[in-house]
Amino acid sequence: MKPRFVRLAETGRKSVRICVDGVEFDALEGDTVSVAILGNRSHLRTTEFGPERRAGFCMMGACQDCWVWTVDGSRLRACTTTVIAGMNISTKQPEVQWANIA
C-alpha cells in the first residue's frame, strides 16, 4: 500500500517501531501517530457510515476524524498523539464483541 504523506525533511531521526494491522514498520521519533501511519500507508481508518476510508482532515485535534483503535481496545486521536515504540493500531473497527468482558 502506497504511503500517503511524503517526508520532505527531518528524516534523520531515530526509528520507532510500531505495528499497524499486524504489519510492523518503523516510524520516526517525534511523528504523530497520523504521520507515523500515513508515512507508511494510505489511510487511518474505515468509516462507520460509508464505504470510504479516512486519513484525517484537520491535523490539529479539531475535526475528530482521526480516532483510531489500538489492538488492546483503547482509542487514541492520531494527530495529537506522539508515536511511541510498541504501539499496536488497528485501522478497522473492532468486532461487535468490543464490549464483552467475559
Partner 1 sequence: MKPMNADVLIVGGGIMGTAAAFFLRRRGRSAILLERGLVGQQASAVNFGAVRRLGRFLPQLPLATRSREIWAKLPELIGHDSEFLASGLMRVCYREEEADIFESYGTDAAHYGLALDMYRGQAMRAKFPFLGPEVLAAQYSATCGHANPRLAAPAFSRAAAREGAQIVENTDIVRVEKDGDSFRATSADGRSFRAPNLLITAGAWAGQLSAQFGEPVPINGQGPQMGVTEPMPYGIVPVINVGSDKLEEIIYFRQVKRGNIVFGGGRRSTAYLDERRAKVEPENTLTQFQRLRRLAPALARLNLIRVWSGVEGYLSDELPVIGTSRKVSGLFYAFGFCGHGFQLGPGVGDAMAEWIDTGSTSTPLQPFDIGRFLS
Partner 2 sequence: MGQHRVIVVGAGPAGVRCAQMLVQRGMRAILVDENRRDGGQIFRRQPDSFGRSYGKLYGTEAPQARDMHDTFAKMRDSIDYLPETLVWNIAGKRLHLACEGRAFTRDFDALVLCTGATDRVMPVKGWERAGTYSIGAAQIALKAQACSIGASVVFLGSGPLLYLASSQYVEAGANVVAVLDTSAFSRRVRALPKLLARFDLVRKGAGLVSFLKRAGVKVETGVEPVEILGTDDAGVSGVRYRDAGGEVRELACEAVAIGQHLRPETQLADLAGCRFAFDTATRQWLPECDELGRSSVKDVYLAGDGVRVLGADCAEVAGQLAAAAVLGDLGYPIDAQGLGLLKQKRTRFERFASGIAEAFPWPAEQITRVSDDTVVCRCEEIRAGELRRVVRDEGAREINRAKAFSRVGMGRCQGRYCAHAAAEVIAGCANVPVEQVGRQRSQAPVKPLGIATRQEDA
**Residues of this chain that bind partner 1 (CB under 8 A):** 48-49, 64, 67, 73-75, 93-102
Identify what 73 binds: partner 1, partner 2, none; CB under 5 to 8 Å per kind: partner 1
Q: Is 59 in the site for partner 2 (CB under 8 A)?
A: yes
Question: Which DSSP letter does residue 32 get?
Answer: B
- Alpha-carbon distance of 51 to 31, in angstroms, equals 28
List C-alpha distances in Å: 42 to 31, 58, 84, 87, 98.
16, 16, 20, 18, 25
CB of 75 to partner 1, least distance (A): 6
Cβ proximity to partner 1: between 11 and 100 the closer is: 100
Does an H or E element contain 68, and which? strand 67-70
Q: Is 14 in the site for partner 2 (CB under 8 A)?
A: yes
CB of 91 to partner 1, least distance (A): 14
Question: Do 14 and 85 meet the contact criterion of CB atoms below 8 Å apart?
Answer: no
Chain contacts with partner 2 (rule: CB under 8 A): 4-14, 28-32, 35, 38-39, 42-44, 47-65, 67, 75, 77, 80, 82
